[in-house]
Structure 1
Amino acid sequence: MQRKITIAIDGFSSTGKSTVAKKLAAELGYVYVDTGAMYRAVTLYALNNDIIGDSGCNKRAMKKHLPEIKLHFEFNEKLGYAEIYLNGKNVEKEIRMLRVSSFVSPIAAIKEVRVKLVEIQQEMGKNKGIVMDGRDIGTVVFPDAELKLFLTASAETRAHRRYKELLDRGDEVSYEQVLKNVTDRDYIDSHRENSPLVKAEDAIEIDNSDMGLEEQFERIYGYALRLIKNSPQ
């Protein structure tokens, strides 16, 4: 039996990390964990409890509420991937709203939030055989991951992808709103004090601005197969 490896996929928002990670996990028979969904769920909690909003973020209140936040994933056979639950409620659809996207980076920048979620993520991946995507997987969560990938694309390309996704879902948004959200998140994610978004030194960078999903997947799948084949038992 081939030894399982850990696959860490980092990158900017709307680079298709979750899409390729889900497919990769399914092909390899690995567990897939969307860490972005975890931060979005915490953000949804913060919005619902008036901890964050247009007037700012009450970091003290966020830290105080952390023990009350329970997150877990449940596999949905119809969808073929696990959905996230916040305090027992499926919030997979709610966390994808643009309003949540607009506030997730400030919440993710809070040190105590990151510490709590990183501990959960590391526990999930202790037995390997996992594909995890996010912002600091290859640098903080799994610095020893056998395969590290860093996905990027132009802000305009990512905004167009996200805009189409939101329109297809029935959301009423403008392209300008989405582009601003993308660039704002890029800045916050890259400049935050705790676990900023950076490419791990040993990560493979893939710019998918002009790359189709299938082409990107085949390239990444090839990297994974070669590593698994050459991994010691």
Structure 2
Amino acid sequence: MIIALDGPAAAGKGTLGRALAAHYRLPYLDTGVLYRATARDVLAAGGDPENEEDCVRAARALDPATFDDPELRRPEIGEAASKIARIPAVRKVLLDYQRRFARNPRGAILDGRDIGTVVCPDADVKLFVTASPEARARRRHAELAAAGSTLSFEEVLAQVRERDERDARRALSPMRPAADAHLLDTTDLGIEAAFKAAVDIIDTAVGKAGCA
């Protein structure tokens, strides 16, 4: 079973993806980490996150053992990752990585911006996880504050809105719900409620497919 989780930043995809992976005993990939790790390595090497050669080189040399690096959550890494995600050659390298991951015999759960539309268009279940910009900014602001950031809520909200616009407007693989995706709005949902709603959607979808 392949489950595709798409949606904007700080909508809760990561938390939900990890919980679903434990529930269904499936491997999980946060595809945003691939772009963040590429960004980290480009910047560490003194490269330019808008230079195709620098970014492709870093994408090809990614080490999965570093994907838990707390440095990946730094705001500047996220900003660079968003720029890198607009480079077609980088997206191709990382698309290959994601599709190999999804071919796990037991299935997989992947979260990102274009899983249901580009990476795994034939996924068994597609969820588009979203929330209001304000709710997502509050979550991200709390996360950053816990890590020592001094950014204000207003600054984080501006970043969230800018990122949304950039992701939706990019020419290659813009963020949008797949035609057959189930919408899950987490604006007013806690972690447990969002998880339960997702499990209900998945179990219903898989049950209907099994009866077809």
TM-score, normalising length: structure 2: 0.91
1:37, distance to aligned residue in structure 2 (A) = 0.8
Residue matched to 1:142: 120
Counterparts of 2:28 and 2:80 in 1: how far apart (Å)? Answer: 24
**Equivalent pair of 2:48/2:54 in contact (CA under 8 Å):** no
1:99, distance to aligned residue in structure 2 (A) = 1.2
Counterparts of 1:34 and 1:96 in 2: how far apart (Å)? Answer: 13
Aligned length: 210
**Equivalent pair of 1:101/1:181 in contact (CA under 8 Å):** no
Residues 155-166 of structure 1 aligned to structure 2 (within 5 Å): 155-166=133-144
Matched, 1:133 2:126: no
Matched, 1:20 2:19: no
Q: Which amino acid aligns with 1:9?
A: L
**Equivalent pair of 1:8/1:131 in contact (CA under 8 Å):** yes
**Equivalent pair of 1:153/1:207 in contact (CA under 8 Å):** yes
Per residue, is there more strand in 1 or in 2? 1
Q: Which amino acid aligns with 2:14?
A: S
Match of 2:152 among 163, 174, 187: 174
Residue matched to 1:152: 130
Q: Which amino acid aligns with 1:20?
A: L
1:172, distance to aligned residue in structure 2 (A) = 2.5
**Gapped regions of structure 2 (runs ≥ 5):** none
State, as a whole percentage, how many aligned pairs show the same letter.
36
Residue matched to 2:75: 98
Matched, 1:121 2:72: no
Q: Which amino acid aligns with 1:121?
A: Q
* 1:148 counterpart SS class: strand
* 1:133 counterpart SS class: strand
Residue matched to 1:222: 200
Residues 12-51 of structure 1 aligned to structure 2 (within 5 Å): 12-51=8-47
Residue matched to 2:52: 59
Moved over 3 A (4+): 63-67, 227-233
Residue matched to 1:70: 62
TM-score, normalising length: structure 1: 0.83
**Equivalent pair of 1:9/1:149 in contact (CA under 8 Å):** yes
* 1:19 counterpart SS class: helix
1:230, distance to aligned residue in structure 2 (A) = 4.6
**Equivalent pair of 1:38/1:71 in contact (CA under 8 Å):** no
